[in-house]
Amino acid sequence: MKKRSAVIYLILFILAIAGLTYVAFWGIGQTKAGSAQNIKQGLDLAGGVSITYQVVGDENPSDEDMDDTINKLQKRVENYSTEAQVYKEGSNRINIEIPGVSDANRILEELGQPGTLYFIAQTDASGNQNYSIAGVDESGITYSLNKTIDEMLADGSIVLDGTQVASATAASTTSDSALKENQYIVELTFTEEGKKAFGDATTKAYANGETIAIYYDGEFVSVPTVQAAITNGQAQITGDFTIDEARNLASTIRIGGLTLDLEEIRSNVVGAQLGSEAISTSLKAGVIGFAIVCIFMIVVYYVPGFASAIALYIYVLLTLLVLNGFNITLTLPGVAGVILAIGMAVDANVIIFARIREELATGKTVQSSVKIGFGKATSAILDGNITTLIAAIVLALKGSGTVKGFAQTLMIGIVLSMFTAMFVTRALLAILYALGFTNEKFYGIAKERKSVDFLGKKAVFFAISLVLILGGIVMLFVNKSTSGDILNYSMEFKGGTSTTVTFTEDYSIERLDSEVVPYIEKITGDGNVQCQKVAGTNEVVIKTRTLTVEEREEMESVLETNYGVDSDSIQSETISATISNEMKSDAVVAVIIATILMLLYIWIRFSDFRFATSAITALLHDVLVVLAFYAVSKTSVGNTFIACMLTIVGYSINATIVIFDRIRENLKEMPKNTDLKDVVNLSITQTLTRSIYTSLTTFIMVFVLYLMGVTSIKEFALPLIVGIVCGGYSSVCITGALWYVMKGGKRSDTKTSAAKKKANA
């Protein structure tokens, strides 16, 4: 590249960065709000809508019916946000919290009034009409029932109900191939039970030229004519629908598939669970941490470090734009995904720059070293990122709630981090070289480092790990015997008490956090206390672990004495876990599938199953050590626990891949008679700088967040810090040693083995 061209490219780069910055932070168009301000935020960061439903006609519904209804509602409200929460309140109420929205009435209208939906045959077994035309008005034909629901249930006229509908969605189809006009329809998919029932009903109705009415909440919502016997479990409702009418009908059918009839008893707009001060300090911490990382890269890697700092800034801008563009809800677990992706972006640059310095040390030119350095680093970067991406995709597809939100941000981060590291950094280095930064002193030269005998200390490393893991397991049993639980589960896992308090004045979240929450934490002995303000009122919803009668009385006394709260305005309800059993099982299944796929990918890429098994073993090691930390420190286990563990899984596997990639390369390049122990020790030594620097930069990001954050932020950041340190330790001290032990300490080279056999012969 000529200098003149480099100047032009540099100007274009500057203009592009300026444009991205403007769009990200100031925006374009009428709203004048940048992507950063428009990103949907979860209940913890921005608040949302809270809706409470009550079961109709039954004060004590069964746990099975409540759980089934909660699970179905959870799937439904995730259409608004992956971070939406549905949980039980009291014995017969269900609470829904949807982040990022402020219009409760719109949500209620779109979600519908949960009730029972029936599919009714036009005639009964005796040929009597179950319903008939009542008249015609502006909305079309109206119908009325000729007998009661109970009568039709008894004689089999109700052929199936909403619980037998697996899904209902609005869609479009071309009604006229010549005109290419779109017709909006509703597509239905039935359960196995519903498939048979609907097949039998449509066979009868088609033979007699009859209709099957869809009846919900005392009204006929659709009375379609059956045009064929439908036995495959899938059907379409056609008509002169607008897209909104099709969506409303689909929504009505979905909501009518609940096990229980529900009625809405209250709806509120609630504020963020974290105050604006907590959020702003977290943002400041992120900016400070990012700045420190950029300065570190420049100080250590000179010109390449400067290029990487610019590339990382572009990565942040692109992340903001994509999060906004894909309408992804960002919560604390989502922040974990972003942090992990930043760490991986830094890691990719560190791998590349280390390779460039190694090539310079062999006497190659800067231009040649940069080209070769990128080429040699590509396999490690791709394998590490693809392995983590596999896990993220599975978690996004199979997980729910917090897991899905984490996976989405991680996927975006991985793709963007690879792009900025492999292309943006490389382009910037080419421009800087053309502008005159051609001297190798601007890039640094790798110093020859004596190989460290890591494997010679493997027994010590294994012993340390075993002590940490076994100590954690012992603490799990100790916790179980003393408190009844192996870990300090928060209300998200165990449920708790929701206390609604009407204060005499309007308290801000910041004031609640500084004045009220400390008293409650003292009463409960637990730092996991959530406060939500109800918009437009002095009401505050305080969520804690399950309180005893004495603790409730003490809380009421404190609120009355210190804040003049009227005891009659204090209402307490027991709430269920916001992380349902189904969400837990989804997360477990997703992690198992992701682990198997990662195992297969590593096996295929490295052509050695022992690489895969030792990588998964090292991953399990890191998870168990962090679990031990949770057990010993009694850190609260809530929504962020899942995100923390998943972050450690991604971080661990990426660190492992880098060392395995170097072992694979050295096995090909080093003489066949080189002892396997020397190969592994050299590989670990060569990647030691990368392991330290990557761990350090990611540690800086999270540590600053820990220093500046409130209690909930600290409980999120501290286990991540432990995981980062553990991941750095295991990648250097455990991973290579595990593979060496599994190999039996011997190289298995096919050519060498064949030569030996020939010689013996």
* Full set of structural domains in the chain with CATH: 3-24+274-442 (1.20.1640.10), 48-113 (3.30.70.3400), 117-257 (3.30.1360.200), 455-473+580-746 (1.20.1640.10), 496-575 (3.30.70.3400)
| Rounded Cα–Cα distance for residues 676 and 673 (Å) | 9
State the amino acid at position 188 in one-letter form: L
Cα→Cα distances 253→52, 113, 166, Å? 20, 11, 10
Biggest CA pair distance of the chain:
99
> What is the phi-psi region of residue 42: left when phi exceeds 0, alpha when psi lies from -120 to 50, beta otherwise?
beta
Tokens of 716: 């999120």
Q: What angle do CA 246, 250, 255 make, to 5 degrees?
A: 150
Q: What are phi and psi of 326, to 5 degrees?
A: -95, 5
169 burial via Cβ count (<10 Å: 0-12, 13-18, 19+): middle
pLDDT along the chain (761 residues), means of 10: 90 92 72 60 71 84 84 75 80 84 69 73 91 79 88 91 83 56 82 90 91 85 89 86 80 74 79 62 80 92 94 90 79 69 82 93 93 92 89 81 76 89 93 93 89 94 95 93 87 85 86 85 81 84 87 91 88 80 76 87 90 90 93 83 78 86 91 91 92 88 82 79 90 93 75 43 40
How far the first Cα of the chain sits from its last, in Å, is 59
Question: Are 607 and 645 contacting, i.e. CB atoms less than 8 angstroms apart?
Answer: no
Q: Which residues contact 397 (CB under 8 A, 6 or more apart)?
A: 590
Q: Which residues contact 590 (CB under 8 A, 6 or more apart)?
A: 394, 395, 397, 398, 399, 403
What number of helices (H) and strands (E) belong to the chain? 25, 17
The pLDDT value given to residue 342: 78
- DSSP string of 294-361, one letter each residue: HHHHHHHHHHHHHHHHHHHHHHHHHHHHHHHHTTPPB-HHHHHHHHHHHHHHHHHHHHHHHHHHHHHH
Q: What angle do CA 73, 78, 80 make, to 5 degrees?
A: 115
Cα→Cα distances 7→4, 11, 240, 420, 755, Å? 5, 6, 60, 20, 58
Best CA proximity match to 498, nearest among 171, 90, 62: 90
Its pTM stands at 0.72
Helix pair angle (735-742, 711-733), 10° resolution = 40
The pLDDT value given to residue 245: 80
| Rounded Cα–Cα distance for residues 482 and 624 (Å) | 21
Question: Are 740 and 459 contacting, i.e. CB atoms less than 8 angstroms apart?
Answer: no
Question: Are 142 and 136 contacting, i.e. CB atoms less than 8 angstroms apart?
Answer: yes
The tokens 């009409």 sit on which residue?
129
DSSP 445: -
Residue 670 three-state SS: coil
Question: Are 107 and 101 contacting, i.e. CB atoms less than 8 angstroms apart?
Answer: yes
